[in-house]
Structure 1
C-alpha cells in the first residue's frame, strides 16, 4: 500500500483511495498468500480537490515490490537465518528480472458491475459450495481452474486433508482481512466524502456513488449468471414458494426447518414419496407437485399457481 500511496504523492501530490483484501489461498485451497487491491484512478489534493489520474507504471511497481519484499525478509530474520537463505533470496532476485508478479489490466465496461464482481471476489472463501462436486463420507471432490493450461479440473482429497486445507485459512481473532487506506481510511473517510461531493456539484462531474450499489439477493445473482430466474418453474412458468429445508442425517432425510405446519406436512409427504414409504396416489399432472431429487442438503421449493413475480426472500 505504501508503494501506491508514495507513487501518487510523488507524481500528482494526491491521496488515493485503496481497499486491500488478503487472500491466503489458491485455486486448490493451498497456502498461497497474495493481496487484491482496488485503487481509485485519482485522488484528493491538499486543497480538497479531486485530481484524475489514468496511468500506473506496473513494470516499475513490480521491481519496487520485489525490492520491498526481499528487504522486509532480511529485516525480520536473524543473521544466521540470512546466511542460510541468502542463496534463495539471491535466486529469487535473479530469476525475476521484471520484478515480482503484479497483475493489473485496464478495466472497461460497466463500472458498477465490475465493482460488484471485484468486491464479491475479495470476500469469497477458500472454496465455495458450488465447487464441491462429490462427497461420500470419506473423500471430497471439487473443481478448480488450473492457471497453467486454463482447464477446469477435479481434485479428490480425503475428508481430513480437505478440512486441513480449509482451516489453515481461518484468520486469527480480530485480524482484518480487508483494510482501507487513503481517502477510504476510517479517520478521514467521512470528511473526504463531503469534500468530494461539494467538488462534484461545482464541476458537474459525477464519480460513481457507492451507496447506489445495492446488495442483491440470491435470486438476482443467479439470474444474472444464468439468465434464468431460479424462482420461476421452467416447465409451467409458475412461481416457487420457499417451504423449508431438508437435510440428510445418518442416511435418513429429515426436516430441518419449515415455515409453518402445512409446509411440514407437505415436506413429510414429499420425503415419503422420495423414500418410497408413502403410497403413491394417482393425481393429475396439474395438481401433482414437482418432484426433485433431494440431496444431502436441499432447499425445498414448491410450485404455486401464481403467475407473477416471486416475492423477495
Structure 2
C-alpha cells in the first residue's frame, strides 16, 4: 500500500494507492477462498471517518461545525477512485467495474510511483539568475495539454519540499498476509496456491545482502576497486 503525495502541477494532494489481493485466508481451516465483491460505499465512508479523525488528532477541525460540515457536504464519504479487477455490481463507482488485467503492470507502476521525486529534472526548462525565477512545465491529465509555469525560486522550492516525506516516513506499507510479521502466513498462502519462492528472503540472506551493500560504499572498498590498492599497503 503506497502512500504518496504527487501531482503533475505540484499541488498538495494527499492520497493513497492500494493493491488488494482477491484472496481470503482462513487460519482455522487453513484454506484460501477468492472474493469478487468489495464494498466501495463502506470504503468511502470509512476513509472519510479515519481521515477526519487523524485531522482532529493533529489539531485541526477544532470546531464541531467544521467536522459536521464535512459529513454534510459529503454524505457518501470522500471520493475513492478504484479500478477493481472483478465486477462489483453493488458499487456506484463506474471505475470500479474496470478490470485491471495486467497485474504485474500495476505492481511496476506503483513501485515507480512511490520511488520517483516530485518532479523530473527535464521538466525544468530554465533558471534565470537575474530575475531569480524557475521555468518549468507539466502535462495536465485532464486536457492532455502542456502548461508552462514560471515561479519565483523560493516559491518553486516551497512547491517541492512539501512533497518530501517526514524523517522515517515510509511511502510503502504492507498489511495482512503481506506484512513482514506475517511471513509464515504468506508462506502458507503460497503453498496453497502452488507458488514457489523465486528468492530467499530469510533474515540471514537479507542481513548478508545488506552487509555486502554497505561494504561497497566504504572508502576502503572504493580505493581497492578504483586503484587496486589497499590502505595498509600504501607507501607514504
TM-score (norm 1): 0.51
- CA-CA distance at 1:113 after TM superposition: 2.1
* 95 and 56 in structure 1: CA distance in 2 versus 1, 3 angstrom threshold: same
Q: How many residues align?
A: 183
Task: Verify: 1:59 aligned to 2:41, yes or no.
Answer: yes
Task: Verify: 1:28 aligned to 2:28, yes or no.
Answer: no
* 112 and 76 in structure 1: CA distance in 2 versus 1, 3 angstrom threshold: closer
* Separation of aligned partners in 2, 1:210 and 1:159: 48
* Separation of aligned partners in 2, 1:173 and 1:113: 30
Task: Verify: 1:104 aligned to 2:82, yes or no.
Answer: yes
Which structure's residues are more often strand, by fraction?
1
Query: How do 1:1-313 and structure 2 match up within 5 A?
Result: 20-46=1-27, 47-74=29-56, 77=59, 82-83=62-63, 86-106=64-84, 107-137=99-129, 138-146=132-140, 149-189=143-183, 191-201=184-194
* Separation of aligned partners in 1, 2:68 and 2:11: 25
- CA-CA distance at 1:147 after TM superposition: 5.2
Q: For structure 1, which runs of at least 5 residues remain unmatched after alignment?
A: 1-19, 212-313
Name the larger-Rg structure: 1
* 210 and 40 in structure 1: CA distance in 2 versus 1, 3 angstrom threshold: farther
- CA-CA distance at 1:64 after TM superposition: 2.2
* 171 and 108 in structure 1: CA distance in 2 versus 1, 3 angstrom threshold: closer
* 76 and 112 in structure 1: CA distance in 2 versus 1, 3 angstrom threshold: closer
Q: Is the 8 A contact 2:41 2:76 kept in 1?
A: yes
* 72 and 168 in structure 1: CA distance in 2 versus 1, 3 angstrom threshold: closer
* 108 and 22 in structure 1: CA distance in 2 versus 1, 3 angstrom threshold: closer
* Separation of aligned partners in 2, 1:152 and 1:54: 39
TM-score (norm 2): 0.65
What CA RMSD, in Å, does the superposition of the two structures yield over aligned residues? 2.9
Which structure's residues are more often helix, by fraction?
2
Partner of 1:37, secondary structure, is coil
